[in-house]
């Protein structure tokens, strides 16, 4: 489901020839989903440490999106790509937690 939800966003970005596209967005969504699902099977869905897992997903996706922002003098590009990657990562984690 994370893949299916991320493909339209990736396709839109690839069609506009942006730096991240059809491969990046589904991969981020699937990875975030997996990072949410794996600890559930190990720790259980009610474990308090699930918040720490979600925090790790948010920070990890933050590093990826930081790489999308490019600054050249007074011009900064990649902000929309960075925000899109962050949204897809959180969307994948939400799918992993079963929150469609």
Q: How confident is the model at residue 33 (pLDDT cuts 50, 70, 90)?
A: very high
Segment holding 1, helix H or strand E: none
In total, the chain counts a number of residues equal to: 100
Task: Please state the domain count of the chain.
Answer: 1
Check residues 63 and 92 and name the one with the higher pLDDT. 92
pTM of structure = 0.80
* Phi, psi at 22, each rounded to 5°: -65, -25
| Strand partners for 70 | 77
Q: Which domain holds residue 34?
A: 2-96
Q: What pLDDT shows up at residue 61?
A: 81
* DSSP conformation letters of 46-96: T-TTHHHHHHHHHHHHHHHHHTT-EEETTEEE-HHHHHHHHHHHHHHHHHH
């Amino acid at each position: 489901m994370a893949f299916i939800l991320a493909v339209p966003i990736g396709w839109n970005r690839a069609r506009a020839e942006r730096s991240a596209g059809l491969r990046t967005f589904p991969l981020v969504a699937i990875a975030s989903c997996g990072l949410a699902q794996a600890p559930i099977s190990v720790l259980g869905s009610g474990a308090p440490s699930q918040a720490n897992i979600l925090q790790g997903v948010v920070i990890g996706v933050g590093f990826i999106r930081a790489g999308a922002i490019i600054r050249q003098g007074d011009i900064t590009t990649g902000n929309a790509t960075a925000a899109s990657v962050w949204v897809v990562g959180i969307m994948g984690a939400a799918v992993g937690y079963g929150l469609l």
